[in-house]
Structures are given as C-alpha cells and as structure tokens.
Chains A and B, each alone.
Chain A
Amino acid sequence: MSSIFETMRFTALEIIRMRVFHVLIAGAFLLPIMALIFSNLFLFDIAKVQADVLISGARILASVYILFIAVTLLGKDISQKICHLFLAPPLSRFSYLTGRFLGLLFGLFLLMLVVMLTSEASLLLMFNPDGENGRNALPWYTGLSLAGFTFYQHISLLAAVLLICTWASGLAEMLVFSVAILLISWVVPPIILALQSPDITSQFPTLITTLIETIGMILPRLNGGNIGLALAHGFPLSFSNIAWHLVEHAAYAFVMFGLAQLVFSRRDL
C-alpha cells in the first residue's frame, strides 16, 4: 500500500512540475474571463452561455490534460523503459500502474479544483437573479457541479488511455489511439441519437446501425444524456439520472483499469 502511495505522490509531484500543467492552470484562470466576454454578446440567457463556455472549457482542459500529460508521462515510462527504474522489488507492476493512475487522477483533480474555484468566483460575480431582460440565475453550486461532473467523466477516459498506453508500442501510437478514442467518444453518441430518428433508421441497413451502436457501447459517454445542458440551464437533475451516470462511468473505469493491469502484467518490457 505504501509503495502505491509513494508512486502516486511521485507522479503527482512530477505532474505539478510540468510546464504543460502550469499552462493548463493558467487556462483555468483565463476560462471565466473568456466566459464573461463571450456571454456578454448575448441578450437574455447570459448565465447559460457563461456556463456553456465554462463546461466546454473544463472539458477541453481535461482532454488536453489526458492527451498531453497522461499519455506523455505513461508513454515515456513504457516506451523509453523509464519504468524499469521503478519496477524493482518491493514495487510490483500492479502497484506501479495503480500508483501512476492515482497520481494522474490527483493531477486531474487539482486542475478541476482550480476550474471549480475560478468558475464559482465568476458565476457569483455575475449572479443577478432579478436582472433585466430575463437574465437567468444559476444555482450557487454550478461551478462545483460542472467541474465535478467533468472530473468524474474523465476518470473513465483516463482509464481507457491507461489501457491504450499499456498495449500500444510507442509514444506516437499511444497518442494517435488516445486522440482517436477521444474524438470517437465525442462523435458517436450524437450519431446514435440521430440514427434513432425513424426517417434515418429506415434508410440505413440494420447491420450498420447495430455496428455503430456496438461502437457506442464500448466507449464512455461523454455527453452524459444532456447533463451538461441541464447544468448550464440550472435544472435540477433527478437522482436516478445522476446515479446511473455515475455507475456507468465507475464501471467503465474499473473494467478499463482491470484490463490495463492484465495487459501490463503480461507485457514484455
């Protein structure tokens, strides 16, 4: 247990000292400013537009973190054999990969914590429940929800990237596959949604529809059943809606993490 914690602590320190991480933190501070500027171009639902920019920005920051910090760190470790420095008794492969994963999660958590604080600050600054032209007011915890929601969704994506890194042969391959899984997980859910429309279903062969739905099942759903839109509008979310979404992502992360451990334990280093 202590070896896992030590690896996690080392990973977290490594991430905190990375320049890319500093840039992402700076991005988290710039995000509310961008949101304020963009939202003031609109007429009525100003808070909604502000929340849209904050949610999208948080997602982009989390995705960049996964691609340029997680993949780079794991890619260097595995392809340049740096992990050999760690993998000496008493540190097992399991402890090493678990520590690395937890350290990466901690880094993502720190980033989202900054996003949460800056978002909360900007939303409270603009809080205007009785403003003109129907400016809507968001609940005080919107910043907290959007950062927490983004963090939680990206755990499953991080676990999927962990699997890719343990399986792929080099840094370039890891990066290409990770970008691919990110883009596909963005694009496939809306395609599946569009395919459910009767007009489109009638024109597509069943085989293609089934194939796309199968691809959709093996990817984490980052759209999360319009939870992002609901947060931006300040709608109360039903407990079952949130609970099933959390279970879906936790289960997906567990499966990917387990597979990554399995592949890594058998990998010829």
Chain B
Amino acid sequence: MWGFIISGCVLYAGARLSQPIVPNYSYAMESGPAPANTQAIAAGPFKGLVSDYNILSVFTMYDHIKKKPLSQAQRKLAWQQLSSYLHNAQHLDPWFNDTYRLTVGLLAFQKGLALDAVQILNMGSDYIDWDWKLPFYAGFIAYDRLNDQKMAYEFMQEAISRPNVPPLAIGLTSHFLQKEKGHEASMMFLEYLLQTMPKAYHDPIKQRIERLKSQPDSNMRRQ
C-alpha cells in the first residue's frame, strides 16, 4: 500500500516539476478582454473582484509590452487591449483609483491612445465628483497630447470648481491657458506626476519630459 502511495507521489512531483511553471503564452494577451457588459453580467455580485482582475491584466499586458520582442502590429494590438482592460475596470468599479492612475501613467503618453485616456478619466470624473484630480488630468492630456484647447479649458474649469482644489492646480490652470507659459507648466505637471507614480510606471512620463526638453516650445504639442 505504501509503495503505491510513495511511487504515486514521486510520479506526481516528477510530472509537475517537468512542466514549465510559467507558460510561454499569455491568456490576457492571446484573447483580450471580454466586452464590459458581458463581464458585468458574468461577474454578478463580484464586480469589484472582476475589476481587480482587469487591472491585473493591465499589469500583465504592460509587462509583456516592455519585455517581449513584439512586432509593430503586435505592439499596437497589445496597447489597444491594455486600453480595453482599463475601460472594463472603470465600467465595473468606477471608484477604483488604480484604473485612473494607470490611465494617466500608461495610456495618456501612448501614441493614439490619449483620447481613450481622456474618455476614461471623464467617465470616472462623473462618479468621483469630490476630487479635482480626474478632470484636471483629463484637461492636461487634452492640452498636451490632443492639442485641444477648448476641451482642456472645460476640464480644467471643472477641476478648479471642485472642493479642496490646491493652489498648485489653480496656478497650473492659469499657466496652461496662457500660451507662452504652457511649456513650463507642462514640465511642472509631469514632474508632479512622477512623484505620485511608482517607479515601474515612470518610463512613459520620463520620455515625454525628455521630448519636451529637447524640442522648442512652439512645436511641443505636435508630438
């Protein structure tokens, strides 16, 4: 009897150890997220947990984008999927701060995804109506990445009308609205973002700062 049990244990351990612990493919990357409404229905009363899962998928996707050699098309698809995961997380739990921090840190400075970032922040801003940060971030992205002064003005006006807005935000808003000081204000705001984001997510913001430093003020919003 003991022979059966011990040989079974040895075989089982051997079989387990001979398989790779981390598979060579990523589920998150292969399939992409299910649509937000489908996820909400499947989640039932576990909406919070499914929202957390979407944020975990964002980490996985970002890790793949950074570390795996991807073709241009694969990279573009990966960024689009990462954006979809953030949209889903926002849809399932609109009060989850990680969604908005990652949106600002990752999507905002990615080519072609700034509008997605503004959309996510705008939707979150409706729910988190006591915080000035989300409309301010949306306004900054609209100003810096989309070059849409009108949209930026509307978001920043909304931000400074909210309670507990710090003098820094009011000062930056007035600077953004004066063309000649916009460049300097952008740099200040990006430095502020760096202080609030973990080191692992500094790269896109640092790249943006470098680009701003290396280019003349008049051209900076075209990049």
Measured between beta carbons, the chain A residues less than 8 angstroms from B102 are 43
Per DSSP, are chain A's interface residues mostly helix, strand or loop, or mixed? Answer: helix
Q: Does residue B101 face the partner (Cβ distance < 8 Å to A)?
A: yes
Q: Does residue B52 face the partner (Cβ distance < 8 Å to A)?
A: yes
> Which of these binds chain B: A76-84, A165-173, A187-195, A237-245?
A187-195
Q: Are A194 and B40 in contact (CB under 8 A)?
A: yes
Distance between Cα atoms of A52 and B95 in the complex (Å):
13
Q: Are B98 and A232 in contact (CB under 8 A)?
A: no
Question: Per-residue 0/1 for A146-189: is the Cβ within 8 Å of any B Cβ (1 yes, 0 no)?
Answer: 00000000000000000000000000000000000001001101
Measured between beta carbons, the chain A residues less than 8 angstroms from B97 are 44-45, 48, 134, 136
Known: A43-B198, A194-B41. A56 touches B95 (CB 8 A): no
Q: Are B49 and A53 in contact (CB under 8 A)?
A: yes
Q: Are B44 and A228 in contact (CB under 8 A)?
A: no
Q: How many residues of chain B have a CB within 8 Å of chain A? A: 25
Interface centre among B43, B47, B48, B49 (most CB of A within 10 A): B48
Known: A43-B101, A43-B198. A59 touches B45 (CB 8 A): yes
User: Could you give 11 example pairs across A and B, Cβ below 8 Å?
Assistant: A43-B98, A44-B101, A48-B96, A48-B97, A56-B46, A134-B101, A187-B42, A194-B40, A194-B41, A229-B47, A233-B95
Known A-B contacts: A53-B49, A189-B44. Give 9 more (CB < 8 A): A43-B102, A43-B198, A44-B98, A45-B98, A48-B97, A190-B37, A222-B45, A223-B47, A229-B47
Residues on B facing A (Cβ under 8 Å): 37, 40-49, 51-52, 55-56, 59, 93, 95-98, 101-102, 196, 198
